[in-house]
Chains A and B, each alone.
Chain A
Amino acid sequence: MTRDPLLMAWAALVTLSLAGAGLSLVPAGSVVSLLALSLALLKGRIILHRYLGLAHAPRWRRGFDMVLAGFCAGLAGLALLI
């Protein structure tokens, strides 16, 4: 049985969102901040690839992935300075 990539994407997004909700229940700290941004990066990539269709546009996908990862890395750097 083949699974619809879109359905898998939605399931992954809900799972990652619930994981993000779980982070709101634990004490703050650098690890929580890094995990929260990592989850956001993963969710952002899924939205770009599966919802916005960049999975079928490899050059654009690479560009958006790089910029998104760079942005999240910048936010992570600032979060680590707190």
Chain B
Amino acid sequence: MTDLIDELPGEPMMWVLIVSELLVFGAGLAALSAMRLTDPAGFAEAQAHLDRAGAALNTVVLVTSGFLAVLAVRAAEAEREARKRACLAAAMALGVVFLVIKGQEYAAKSAQGIDWETHAFFTFYYLLTGFHAAHVVAGIVLLGLVAVLRDPRATETGAAFWHMVDLVWVLLFPVVYLIR
């Protein structure tokens, strides 16, 4: 058992958090998929109001940010502090770009008079994407914290959280934006 846990890269408690978060988002995505069956036309009509291009762009933004986070871990392990901080700063900046694009999407919905009570689809949409956006904010803060610590293990843990945020978005994107 210890051998199995030792095989896991990084901090085991971060993996507990990652699995917990994946289960929560997975349940939400499964619930949305099941609810869609009760009103396929209504869900498709509601989904047509979403900005698919913006969401697709955000996928590229997040996977690139994740790439920079891995580079930061490598730099931390090589004791290249300046490079580590630069990579983390760039990863955080892309996190902010993600939030700006997401904010524009929310603003567009609001301008159309759409809120979370407009249709069941939008209840799921705001819950899932809003909860995910909150994780992006938390991830940016976490990356900022590990940027000032001279501890490769801390950098790896912060990056692992960021990759979880990335992974959730990759699964959320098709269910919320594409399947109809």
| Contact surface of A with B, Cβ cutoff 8 Å | 6, 9-10, 13-14, 17-18, 20-21, 23-24, 28, 32-33, 36-37, 39-40, 43-44, 47-48, 50-54, 56-60, 71-72, 74-75, 78-79, 81-82
Q: When A17-B56, A54-B9, A59-B4 are in contact, do A48 and B167 touch as well, CB less than 8 Å?
A: yes
Q: When A10-B64, A24-B56 are in contact, do A78 and B37 touch as well, CB less than 8 Å?
A: yes
B160 touches A75 (CB 8 A): no
Is B60 part of the contact surface with A, judged by Cβ < 8 Å? yes
Q: Using Cβ atoms and an 8 Å threshold, which residues of chain A touch B64?
A: 10, 14
Task: Rank and list the top 5 A-B pairs by shortest CB-CB distance, nearest first.
Answer: A21-B56, A53-B9, A24-B52, A36-B174, A13-B63
Q: When A39-B174, A79-B33 are in contact, do A51 and B70 touch as well, CB less than 8 Å?
A: yes
Q: How large is the interface on B (under 10, 10 to 19, 20 to 34, 35 or more residues)?
A: 35 or more
CB distance from B51 to the nearest CB of A (A): 10
User: Can you give 23 contacting A-B residue pairs, CB < 8 Å?
Assistant: A6-B67, A13-B63, A13-B66, A14-B60, A14-B64, A20-B173, A20-B178, A21-B52, A33-B180, A36-B179, A40-B170, A44-B171, A47-B63, A47-B66, A47-B167, A47-B170, A48-B167, A51-B67, A52-B164, A54-B9, A57-B9, A75-B30, A75-B33
